[in-house]
Amino acid sequence: MTIPDEFENKIKEKLGSEFNAFRESLNEHSPVSVRINPRKRNSIPSADRVPWTEFGYYLNERPKFTFDPLFHAGTYYVQEASSMFLEQVLRQHVNSTGLNILDLSAAPGGKSTHILSLIDVESILISNEVIRARATILAENILKWGHPNSLVTNNDPKDFERLPGLFDVILVDAPCSGEGLFRKEPDAMNEWSPDNVNLCASRQKRILADVWPALKENGILVYSTCTYNEKENEENLLWLQQNHAVEFLRMRLDPAWGVVEVNNAIKGYRFYPHRVKGEGFFISAIRKKESTTGIHKIKKTVTTPSKKVQETLTSWISRAETFDFFQHQEYVFIFPKAKNEILELVKQNLRLGQAGTTLASLKHDKVVPEHASAMSIHINKENFDTAELSFDEAIQYLRRETFSWTDKERGFQLVTFEGVPLGWINSLGNRFNNLYPIDWRIRTNLKV
């Protein structure tokens, strides 16, 4: 791999005698790592653990994820191992109860789904993505993860100034020059230049300035990039320190992890591929030590479905007493009672794309299950007729095809693979209608 001369000179100066090991690591295969959904899967047997997270595993090879029904069921997420270090920040410095959290640049959803696995239902996560097409992918991955305490928005960072002091935690996974991805994504190396570094650093400062008012006093900003460049990391955080009252938070590290601590004017943590089993990464946690004033005016705008519909849907989910039922057009969704005001604030101030878990749609006198209800971690499987599929049948289902069907039971049935829900069918006796979302269907052919 030929790396840009300007980058090589800079990283050689930073690493000194370690440069040759770093250079050699770029010619190795990128590790394949996944993170399980602990509400849907307990472990991955015979796989090595990612050491800084309870949920991460390394795979020996990269399987065809597209043709794994358990991937589509949201039992795990394919995520780069270094970025899973976010878990250490939250476990060491954040109370997991009753939080308001913003993941500002959340697509495609790796860090957001990770956060959802770490917080309780009394907390809320807003996952935002400014690019609309990427926001759609984000919403799909959040839906498959199955947690109702989430909102997906499509806004510019500056829009969050409308919500001053609302958030306990804000994650800024900033768009960057991608130096840490040279091995995994060669296009990042081809696009690298000193001018691009400067452009990214300027953009990152704007993002930090725009979102800072939305963080409450003593709230925590988590700043991360997939680059080694000091202009995009240390210098940006030093700029933040010079303009605001902040406290940098130190992390407890296991020396065996190989994580490098940056401990000068600022504190941060850098991941190099020759030291860790993962890609290049930088992360820092900063506590806000200045007040933010703001009044949030809340108007009730969301509506509730009829009592009859609520009674029907209550049996569909566990812990129903924890949620309120709301209706938007013909769709009925659940949302945590403890965070109803946040739902109203977001609906009134931001572009809201997805809220809570959509359980059903109302069509004339029928309550029709929506795919999100099958993906929910609160689905009450015992309430429904279920059909367990073989691997071949599951793939056909995920292609949105039909196959031989001899079930005589009529009505909506929950289809499962290895006991995990995949979605819904409408059984007509000797055939069925496949209700898997058409935009999500597998379009490629399986090649062994």
Report the alpha-carbon distance of residue 395 to residue 441 in Å, rounded: 10
- Which residues share a beta bridge with 252? none
Give per-residue pLDDT as tens, 337-382.
999 999 999 999 999 999 999 999 999 889 999 999 999 999 999 9
| Conformational region of residue 395, where left means phi above 0, alpha means psi within -120 to 50, and beta covers everything else | alpha
Q: Is the peptide bond preceding residue 369 cis, with omega within 30 degrees of 0? A: no
Q: Mean pLDDT, to the nearest integer, of 289-311?
A: 88
CB 301 within 8 A of CB 344: yes
Residues belonging to the chain: 448
Using CA atoms in the order 432, 436, 437, 438, what is the torsion angle rounded to 10 degrees? -60
Structural domains of the chain, ranges and CATH numbers in brackets: 5-288 (3.40.50.150), 384-448 (3.10.450.720)
Supply the pLDDT for residue 132.
95
| Conformational region of residue 336, where left means phi above 0, alpha means psi within -120 to 50, and beta covers everything else | beta
Give per-residue pLDDT as tens, 324-339.
999 999 999 999 999 9
When computed from its CA atoms, the radius of gyration of the chain, rounded to whole angstroms, is 23
Report the alpha-carbon distance of residue 57 to residue 59 in Å, rounded: 6
Q: Is the pLDDT of residue 448 over 60?
A: no
Supply the pLDDT for residue 445.
80
Q: Among 132-136, 279-283, 426-430, whose mean pLDDT is lowest? A: 426-430
Give per-residue pLDDT as tens, 165-194.
999 999 999 999 999 999 998 888 889 999
Whole-number mean pLDDT of the chain? Answer: 95
Two structure tokens written together for 182: 């040279």
Residue type at 20? N
Q: Which residue has the higher pLDDT, 295 or 67?
A: 67
Supply the pLDDT for residue 302.
86
Q: Mean pLDDT, to the nearest integer, of 250-273?
A: 96
Residue type at 361? S
Instruction: Tell me whether residue 285 is exposed, middle or buried, using C-beta atoms within 10 angstroms of its C-beta: 0 to 12, 13 to 18, 19 or more.
Output: buried
Q: Is the pLDDT of residue 2 over 90?
A: no
Spatial CA neighbour of 81 closest among 249, 258, 210: 258
Residue found under tokens 């250079």: 23
